[in-house]
Amino acid sequence: MSKNDRNLDKRQQKQRKADVEARKQKRLPWIFGAIVVLIALVVGGSFLSDSFDNTKTTTTNLYSKEISLQSLHDKNAAKDDFYAYYYQPSCEHCKVVSPYLIPMAEQMSKPLFPVNIEGKHDAWTEYKVQGTPTLIHFKDGKEVERIDGQRDPSVYSEFFTNAK
Amino acid sequence: MTDSVTPRSTVNSSPTPSRSLLYWVTIAIRLVLGAVFLYSAVTKIADVYSFGLVLQSYDLLPDPMIKPLAILLPLVELVLGAAVLFKPTARYASLGIGLISLLFTFVMISKWGVVMPYGCGCFGPTEATPVGIVDVGKDVLLVIGAGLVLFRR
């Protein structure tokens, strides 16, 4: 192998090394970006997991006295004096009202039972529910009075206090 | 100076009108896909528990999978929605968007006519509605849009 060939070989090796380095350099932003996205996903996932558990606990506790439509019929058939709170899990107004209405009823010793009517068209028609939340006072198997929509806590408090 | 400009670069610098139109159409599709996926992700992230209820209402997954999927899906949508807006990642993201939308299409077809208590849940829980052409059509359009971005040369 002549000196010229050796030099050429060295130059080619050097060029190949430079190419590999350049490719590595080109990959760096991708690797860095992927790591950042991965970290963000892990952190975000952890927050969402906490949020999921907290909401689940709150919802389960809040609606622990929930009754089915059949139980509601049974209560009316038995002519019980009670309050049916019609709500939907996806209803934004219910998310505001439930946290103060349900504990308030408990404090005032009012028998309030949440009824989930999400997707239950028959219930909407049968009880003439225009929207959620709706609070209906039943007595002797009949509706006595009701409150439609989101109201201030004072309105519900008055409703319970002045119950017929 | 003029020697440094190759004939190829001269051709590329003045695109034909049709090519230019295709370019802008692709940009518009990427923007729409990005906006749809980002909005979809944000509505689910805002109330991840309700999205879990939506997933449960489809009755296709075992209960232990509901929570992980309710968390993972919005995050994946967020990443894909953001990635499709950036040119270097747009094609990979459109592949992901296409596959996810195709999966959603099959799920929607499997529930055709069924009244879902939270609606299709595409953008979080909504009114109870039966699955129909609008729900399937939305996903099919997303698949087509993603395909156009993916296969554009």
Q: Where are the domains of chain B?
A: 20-151
Pairing of β A112-116 and β A82-87: parallel
- Nearest Cα residue to A85 out of A138, A135, A27, A13: A135
B128–A121 C-beta distance less than 8 A? yes
CATH number, domain at A85? Answer: 3.40.30.10
Phi, psi torsion values for B105, nearest 5 degrees:
-60, -45
Question: What's the rounded Cα separation, in Å, for the pair B78 and B123?
Answer: 13
A104 within a domain of the structure (yes/no) = yes
Over the stretch B6-18, which tens digit does the pLDDT of each residue have? 444 444 545 555 5
Q: How far is it, in rounded angstroms, from Cα B30 to Cα B84?
A: 6
Mean per-residue pLDDT of chain B: 87
Higher pLDDT: A3 or B71? It is B71
Q: Considering only CB atoms, which chain B residues are within 8 Å of A129?
A: none
Judge if A7 and A42 occupy the same domain: yes
The partner residue sitting opposite B126, judged by closest CB among A45, A55, A90, is A90
- Whether A35 and A104 share a structural domain: no
Examine the pLDDT at B96 and tell me if it is beyond 50.
yes
**Minimal C-alpha gap between B17 and chain A (Å):** 33
Q: Are residues A95 and A137 in the same domain?
A: yes
* 3-class state of residue B8 by DSSP: helix
- A62 exposed, middle or buried (CB, 10 Å; 0-12, 13-18, 19+)? middle
Q: Is A116 a domain residue?
A: yes
Gap between the Cα atoms of B60 and A56, Å rounded: 21
Q: ipTM more than 0.85?
A: no
Looking at the complex, report in whole angstroms how far the Cα of residue B116 sits from the nearest Cα belonging to chain A.
7
A59 in a structural domain = no
Same domain, A9 and A83: no
Nearest by CB to B53, from A51, A89, A121: name it. A89
Whole-angstrom CA distances from A157 to A4, A99, A140, B7, B111 are 99, 14, 22, 82, 43
Q: Which candidate, B71, B50, B67, places its Cα nearest to that of B117? A: B50
Average pLDDT (B97-111) is: 96
Would you state the pLDDT for residue B5? 43
Q: What is the pLDDT of residue B19?
A: 66
CA dihedral sign, ordered B123, B129, B135, B136: positive
Residues A84 and A156 in one domain: yes
Q: Compute the distance between CA of residue B135 and CA of residue B58 in angstroms, rounded to an integer.
A: 14
Same domain, A75 and A153: yes
Q: Do A119 and B128 touch (CB under 8 A)?
A: yes
Same domain? For A83 and A157 the reply is yes
Average pLDDT per block of 10 residues along chain A, 164 residues long: 82 91 85 92 95 88 90 92 90 88 93 89 87 93 92 92 84
Domain that residue A19 falls in = 3-47
In Å, how far is B63's CA from the nearest CA of chain A? Answer: 14
Predicted TM-score of the model (pTM): 0.73
Chain A within 8 Å of B25 (Cβ-Cβ)?
A: no
String of DSSP letters for chain A: --HHHHHHHHHHHHHHHHHHHHHHHHHHHHHHHHHHHHHHHHHHHHHHHHHHHHHHHHHHHHTTT---HHHHHHHHHTT--EEEEEE-TT-HHHHHHHHHHHHHHHHTT--EEEEE-TT-HHHHHHTT--SSSEEEEEETTEEEEEEES---HHHHHHHHHT--
In a domain, A62, yes or no: no
User: Which of B44, B47, B84 would best serve as a mutation to test chain A binding (most A beta carbons within 10 A)?
Assistant: B47
| Chain A closest-CA separation from residue B18 CA (Å) | 32
Assigned domain for A16 exists: yes
Structural domain total, chain A: 2
Clarify whether residues A12 and A83 are in a common domain.
no
- A56 — contact with chain B (CB < 8 Å)? yes
Q: What pLDDT does B36 receive?
A: 97
pLDDT digit string (tens) for B120-129? 888 888 777 8
**Most A CBs within 10 Å: which of B38, B47, B49, B122, as the mutation test of the A interface?**
B49
Is there a single domain that holds both residue A86 and residue A157? yes
pLDDT of residue B18: 58
Asked if the C-beta of A48 comes within 8 angstroms of chain B's C-beta atoms, the answer is yes
Return the pLDDT at B102: 97
A60 lies in some domain: no
Residues B110 and B62: their CA atoms lie apart, in Å, by: 17
Is A90 in contact with B124 (Cβ distance < 8 A)? yes
Q: Which residues from chain A sit within 8 angstroms of residue B78, using beta carbons? A: 44
